[in-house]
Amino acid sequence: MAGNSTYNPTNPVEKWLDDRLPLVRFSKEHLMDFPTPKNLNYWWTFGAILVMCLGIQIVTGIVLAMHYTPEATMAFNSVEHIRRDVNFGRIIQGTHAVGASMFFAAVYIHIFRGLYYGSYKEPREVLWILGVIMFVLMMATAFMGYVLPWGQMSFWAATVITNIFAAIPIVGEPILQLLRGGFAVDNATLNRFFSLHYLLPFVLAAVVALHIWALHVPGNNNPVGVEVKSERDTLAFHPYYTMKDMFAMVVFLIPFAWFVFFAPDILGHPDNYIMADPQVTPPHIVPEWYFLPFYAILRAIDFNILFIDSKLGGVIFFAGSILVLFFVPWLDRSKVRSGSFRPLFKPFYWVFVLNFIMLTYLGAQAAEGIYVVLSKIGTAYYFAYFLIILPVLSRIETPAPLPTSISESVLSKSAS
Amino acid sequence: MKFTQKLAAAAVLVLSMGMGGSAALAAEEGGHAEQQNWTFAGLFGTYDEHQLQRGFQIFREVCSNCHSANLLAFRNLSEEGGPGFSEEQVKALAETYTIEDAEAEGGERSGVAADRWPAPFASDQDARDANGGALPPDFSVLAKARGIHQPFPFWVFNYFTAYQEGGADYIYNLLVNYHEAPEGVEVPPGQYYNSFLGGTLAMGPPLDDGFVTYEAGEGEAVPETLEQYSKDISAFMYWMADPHLAERKATGFRVLIFLIVFAALMYLVKRRLWANAH
Ligand code: HEM
């Protein structure tokens, strides 16, 4: 949305720069004057919180990399060295480790916000797709980061997860060896994971820039899902939303700090305090909590489907559970964006949320008994939601009447 | 319920269920753990110097005959937040140990405060040979590498009480639960039954009542019982694994108070600013 600028360079230096590289003008347009729907609720602050999370991970990560040794016999002790001997090391390392969990907590809220308010719908499909790409990048980065301390869970998670690729016909085995840098997870794996773990956050930062660019073309969606019609519907991003976002960031930092300072290990697994040992397999290999729903889907496919064996089947469903997100804009054809005006959509959405939580829980349980059955039901609902429920609902549902404009909905709310 | 409230509830649920699910898994095989009142637990917890000193004595006299502690340096013993020995004491202590040093004359010299705690065996293989094939694990972070099993919903509360002393509870329960094996449980030679593990391990009961005579500390009469020893060594091992706990929590307080006050101020400014927005 160009042309919202009220920027008037006053002094000659600013004017000189503005004629050559309108950096200040650009910033003013996009970070200050950008017209933003005035009814955004606090779920819209998570985008800013995510940017903050990425910043925290990059800054703490760079400091950690100064003291970390990416070598199989030394990595574990070098992380302990950071915790014990580096100034503020325990806090920097704790912030980075806890930060990964907080980042995912925020991204899940961000995604579920989008799913409820239909933020993925026309004209925001590209914005959504960039989001899914970032989600995949985040998972890759977090997975490789988790391997770096070279504890037992690091090592065995790396083994199990890279092994997934071996199920792919023909190319699986070469991919596996490429990922591991050999036949087994060892020093070569650690080296390449460190290199990529340092690289990907910067790729992520670049995609964030595209994401925000794609946001600033159509502008924000909002809780009622009615497009901005006039200036009366909007507020300038600064100071209104800068203030609101910053307030939300500070609030978000409270539980964040709680974990960093009072329970930095509670989100991790005790086994990762044991140095990696290829000879000893831990009794339960569990990924970090934020992978659990997808891990549950992977394990739910323990039966062959026609000529596809269970292992490949699991991988297909695992990959599919993320790939399906790319197609959501075209699966949900309802013209109404916001779930608040979709009486049929709402219950299915909330079951989807509960189902996702159930899958998270199941991903941490042993694959036996009732857990297996529940995982299958959960997986079935996960896919049915996107592939059947959303397309069908958009045909049969009669949405509630929409407010004619954002400002009308705001007024009626403050009146009631 | 409004969307907002529902999603908030859902977020709390996801966080607690998912995280707890993985954190609570360790040592699932074990029996019921008696949780202890550790001085270093909770928001205000810090280490008890005297307890750490007693724990250190047990470590030095008993456990360190088999277990190494490669990340522990003598100097750590006089650092803030630890057992609180004086630098002179630590220096004198270090001197009583011989350290292998290829650069010293004869390949050996007496220890200095900067040295790491010398390992009891020259190699893992030697350690195994002396212990019937089992390797006594290194103590440096062992107290973090264990946890206790708590059934749902108890582990959910851990996120709110910041309970992460499961490793200390594990070690305590291990040490006090060496019993006769129940009828029908086969105990192979060189193995010992432990009811907390619900099975056997290769370490015999390392402590018993009256086993260690505590060096007289400032007039306090500390019972010389298995329970007391076990508590003291567990606390010491937890300190070894998390030496900066006290400092970390103290910083945490300042950070949390700052954030809460700052958030409150931000909220007021935000409300003021938005008051004329509609
Ligand atoms: C590193 C991760 C991410 C960052 C830093 C980020 C950042 C942002 C920011 C700053 C906004 C604008 C403020 C807001 O609406 O909250 C936004 C909006 C949005 N994001 Fe993200 N995002 C990330 C990941 C994702 C993911 C994974 C998805 C979906 C799969 C996604 C989908 C969206 C959508 C649809 C919007 C527009 C929302 C609306 O206007 O209603 N984002 N993002």
Angle between helical axes of B3-23 and B154-161 (0-180°, round to 10): 100
The residues that bridge with A235 in the sheet, in sequence order, are A36
What are the two backbone dihedrals, phi and then psi, of residue A36, each rounded to the nearest 5 degrees? -125, 135
> What are the Cα distances from residue B134, in Å, to A106, A317, B124?
45, 42, 10
Whether the per-residue pLDDT at B20 is higher than 50: the answer is no
What pLDDT was estimated at residue B276? 83
Q: How many helices (H) and strands (E) in chain A?
A: 17, 2
- Short-list A178, A204, A172, CA closest to A193: A178
What pLDDT was estimated at residue B28? 41
Whether the per-residue pLDDT at B21 is higher than 80: the answer is no
Of all protein residues, the one whose alpha carbon is nearest to atom 13 of ligand 1 is A47
Token readout for A284 is 């339960």
A342 touches chain B (CB under 8 A): no
* A–B CB contacts, 8 A cutoff, strictly below: 169
B201 touches chain A (CB under 8 A): no
A252 touches chain B (CB under 8 A): no
In a domain, A1, yes or no: no
What lines the ligand 1 site, CB under 6 Å? A 44, 46-48, 50-51, 54, 107, 110-111, 114, 117, 119-120, 124, 127-128, 131-132, 134-135, 138, 204, 208, 211-212, 215, 220-221, 325
CATH of the domain at A79: 1.20.810.10
pLDDT digits (tens, 9 = 90+) for B144-187: 999 998 888 888 899 999 999 999 999 999 999 999 999 888 99
What pLDDT was estimated at residue B5? 57
Cα-to-centroid distance, A47 and ligand 1 (Å): 5
**CB A396 within 8 Å of CB B56:** no
> What are the Cα distances from residue A227, in Å, to A41, A406, B4?
16, 8, 21
Whether the per-residue pLDDT at B61 is higher than 60: the answer is yes
The residues that bridge with A236 in the sheet, in sequence order, are A35
**CB B148 within 8 Å of CB B173:** yes
Token readout for A39 is 């009814």
How far separated are the first and last CA of chain A, in Å rounded? 34
In a domain, A82, yes or no: yes
SS (H, E, C) B160-203: HHCCCCHHHHHHHHHHHCECCCCCCCCCCCCCEEECCCCEEECC
What pLDDT was estimated at residue A208? 98
- Short-list B247, B230, B254, B196, CA closest to B38: B230
What pLDDT was estimated at residue B218? 61
ipTM of the complex: 0.92
B interface test, pick of A262, A274, A294 with most B CB neighbours within 10 Å: A262
A83 touches chain B (CB under 8 A): yes
B43 touches chain A (CB under 8 A): yes
H or E segment at A35? strand A35-37
Omega of the bond leading into A123 within 30 degrees of 0 (cis): yes
Domain that holds residue A257: 42-415
How far is the C-alpha of A150 from the C-alpha of A156, rounded, in Å? Answer: 9
**CB A225 within 8 Å of CB A118:** yes
What are the two backbone dihedrals, phi and then psi, of residue B222, each rounded to the nearest 5 degrees? -100, 130
User: Per-residue confidence of chain A (416 residues) as pLDDT tens digits?
Assistant: 445 567 889 899 999 999 999 999 999 999 999 999 999 999 999 999 999 999 999 999 999 999 999 999 999 999 999 999 999 999 999 999 999 999 999 999 999 999 999 999 999 999 999 999 999 999 999 999 999 999 999 999 999 999 999 999 999 999 999 999 999 999 999 999 999 999 999 999 999 999 999 999 999 999 999 999 999 999 999 999 999 999 999 999 999 999 999 999 999 999 999 999 999 999 889 999 999 999 999 999 999 988 888 999 999 999 999 999 999 999 999 999 999 999 999 999 999 999 999 999 999 998 888 999 999 999 999 999 999 999 999 999 999 999 999 998 888 877 65
Q: What is the pTM of this model?
A: 0.93
Strands A35-37 and B108-110: unpaired
For residue B6, the chain A residues in CB contact (below 8 A) are 350, 353
- Short-list A127, A120, A111, CA closest to A215: A127
- Short-list A44, A340, A72, A347, CA closest to A188: A72
> What are the Cα distances from residue A80, in Å, to A92, A170, A217, B208, B251?
12, 41, 47, 33, 20
Token readout for B143 is 């107290």
CA distance A86 to chain B (A): 11
A238 touches chain B (CB under 8 A): no
B144 touches chain A (CB under 8 A): yes
In a domain, A249, yes or no: yes
C-alpha torsion angle, residues A63, A64, A67, A72 (rounded to 10)? -150
Q: Based on the number of CB atoms within 10 Å of its own CB, is A329 exposed (0-12), middle (13-18) or buried (19 or more)?
A: buried
Residue A184, classed as helix, strand or coil, is coil
A interface test, pick of B79, B139, B141 with most A CB neighbours within 10 Å: B141
Greatest alpha-carbon span in chain B:
84
Nearest chain B residue (CA) to A351:
B10
Residue B239, classed as helix, strand or coil, is helix
- Short-list B144, B150, B209, B193, CA closest to B171: B144
- Domain count for chain A, please give it: 1
Task: Enumerate residues 223 to 242 of chain B having a beta carbon within 8 A of any beta carbon in chain A.
Answer: 241
SS (H, E, C) B116-167: ECCCCCCCHHHHHHHCCCCCCCCCCCHHHCCCCCCCCCHHHHHHHHCCCCHH
CA distance A306 to chain B (A): 33
Whether the per-residue pLDDT at B26 is higher than 50: the answer is no
- Short-list A337, A328, A277, CA closest to A132: A328
Of all protein residues, the one whose alpha carbon is nearest to atom 12 of ligand 1 is A47
In a domain, A3, yes or no: no
> Above pLDDT 70, what percent of chain B?
87
What pLDDT was estimated at residue A199? 98
How far is the C-alpha of A26 from the C-alpha of B23, rounded, in Å? Answer: 47
- pLDDT confidence band for B220 (50 / 70 / 90): low
Q: Is A272 left (phi over 0), alpha (psi -120 to 50) or beta?
A: alpha
> What are the Cα distances from residue A78, in Å, to A83, B94, B168, B261?
9, 24, 24, 36
How far is the C-alpha of B59 from the C-alpha of B53, rounded, in Å? Answer: 10
Token readout for A276 is 């990696």
Residue located via tokens 């270093």: B40
The mean-pLDDT minimum among A162-176, B34-48, B211-225 falls in: B211-225
What pLDDT was estimated at residue B18? 46
Q: Cβ contact (<8 Å) for B17 and A360?
A: yes
In a domain, A26, yes or no: no
Of all protein residues, the one whose alpha carbon is nearest to atom 6 of ligand 1 is A47
What pLDDT was estimated at residue A415? 65
Task: Enumerate residues 112 to 141 of chain A having a beta carbon within 8 A of any beta carbon in chain B.
Answer: 112-113, 116
**CB B51 within 8 Å of CB B195:** no
Nearest 5°: CA angle at A160, between A154 and A163? 130
Q: Cβ contact (<8 Å) for A284 and B25?
A: yes
Whether the per-residue pLDDT at B7 is higher than 70: the answer is no
**CB B139 within 8 Å of CB B72:** yes
The topology under which CATH files domain B33-63+145-243 is: Cytochrome Bc1 Complex; Chain D, domain 2 (1.10.760)
Token readout for A401 is 């009447």
**CB B163 within 8 Å of CB B172:** no
Q: Based on the number of CB atoms within 10 Å of its own CB, is A372 exposed (0-12), middle (13-18) or buried (19 or more)?
A: middle
How far is the C-alpha of B15 from the C-alpha of B4, rounded, in Å? Answer: 17
- Short-list B25, B20, B85, CA closest to B56: B85
Write out the DSSP string of A281-314. --S-----GGGHHHHHHHHH--S-BTTB-HHHHH
CA distance B44 to chain A (A): 10
**CB A184 within 8 Å of CB A278:** yes
Residues B49-71, mean pLDDT to the nearest whole number = 97
Nearest 5°: CA angle at A158, between A156 and A164? 105
